[in-house]
Amino acid sequence: MSTELPSSVPESAPWTVSAADIGAALYTRDDWNPTTAADKDPINLLFAHSLAPLGEALRFVEAVLGCRATRPSFGTQWFCEPGPDGPCHRHDTERATHTVAVVNRYHLRLYQLSPLAGFFVRPLTAAPIHREVLKLLCGWTPRRPWRSPVMDLPDSFDAARDWARSLAEADSDYRVDTFWLGNVEPIIQCDGTPLQADGYACVVARASDPPSRQADSGTDEWGGEWLAW
């Protein structure tokens, strides 16, 4: 499980955040056991300030993103606390734009991160998002009959994050900041192909919420002000 930032951070990165800062590993996992589970979705979307409570984040996801399908998934993902042995927690809920991922479905799982797990004293809600299509017999063989013959196959993490960001930025009630989280490890999908994210994540808050340290002081440091209610 990757929890450290890569050694090379892009010069264009607006500000840099670590796994310890957000109180979660950089990826969701496919099992509760952090020592055996595989990385799944990079954390690329979070909700802060007055959107940090799970219920508020969920209202945004349904109203602004239009993700209202409530049982869109074939599997469970787990959010783990930083470190190789950090405990893992099942996602709180999930939403998607459609019940079935025929083509270009946006799907995200939400989990309210522990306020004591990382640097911050107030919670964030993480909502890693991806775009996906339906794939038949993806990873299924007669020797692996326990695998579902129908799977959701993500085809982009970045396009889904950018889609969510564009909808938030189009609404004057919200603001979005982007930071470098560094989760660029290729994730092997059910058909054996690798899918890589660009390492950036977005934090969404209401426009009326207090500014982040970046906007307030002009520095490139990640500040706790996102969570200073």
Amino acid, res. 167: L
Residue carrying the six token digits 């606390």? 81
Nearest partner of 40 among 161, 148, 189, judged by Cα: 189
What pairing do the DSSP bridges indicate for beta strands 187-188 and 174-180? unpaired
Q: Is residue 3 part of a domain?
A: no
What's the total number of domains in the chain? 1
Q: How many CB atoms lie within 10 A of CB 121?
A: 11
Residue 225 phi/psi, 5° resolution? -60, -25
CA distance 150 to 140: 8
> Is the pLDDT at 21 greater than 60, yes or no?
yes
Query: 178-224 pLDDT, tens per residue?
Result: 988 999 999 988 778 899 999 999 999 999 987 654 444 334 333 44
pLDDT of residue 221: 39
Q: Residue 58: inside a domain, yes or no?
A: yes
User: Which domain, by its residues, includes 134?
Assistant: 19-227
Token pair in block for residue 29: 């996992």
Q: Give the tokens for residue 216.
A: 């307030």
DSSP state of 210: P
**9 domain residue, yes or no:** no
> Residue 3: its pLDDT value, please?
39
Please say whether the dihedral angle defined by the alpha carbons of residues 150, 154, 155 and 160, taken in this order, is positive or negative.
Answer: positive
Q: pTM to 2 decimals?
A: 0.81
User: Is residue 8 in some structural domain?
Assistant: no
CB 79 within 8 A of CB 93: no
Torsion angle of alpha carbons 216, 220, 225, 227, nearest 10°? Answer: 140
Alpha-carbon Rg of the chain, whole angstroms? 17
**H/E run at residue 165:** helix 158-169
The answer to the question of residue 32 being in a domain is: yes
Domain membership flag for residue 83 = yes
* Distances, alpha carbon 115 to alpha carbons 15, 41, 83, 111, in Å: 21, 21, 16, 12
Extract the tokens encoding 46: 């979070």
Tell me the average pLDDT across 168-180: 94
Predicted pLDDT at 63: 97
- Residues 107-154 have pLDDT tens digits of 999 999 865 544 444 678 999 999 988 776 565 555 555 455 556 788
Asked if 124 and 46 count as a contact pair (C-beta separation under 8 A), the reply is: yes
Mean of all residue pLDDT scores within the chain: 78
pLDDT of residue 121: 46
Q: How far apart are CA 96 and CA 73, in angstroms?
A: 9
Whether 104 maps to a domain, the answer reads yes
Q: Kindly state whether residue 70 falls inside one of the protein's structural domains.
A: yes
Q: What is the pLDDT of residue 11?
A: 59
Confidence of residue 174 (pLDDT cuts 50, 70, 90): very high
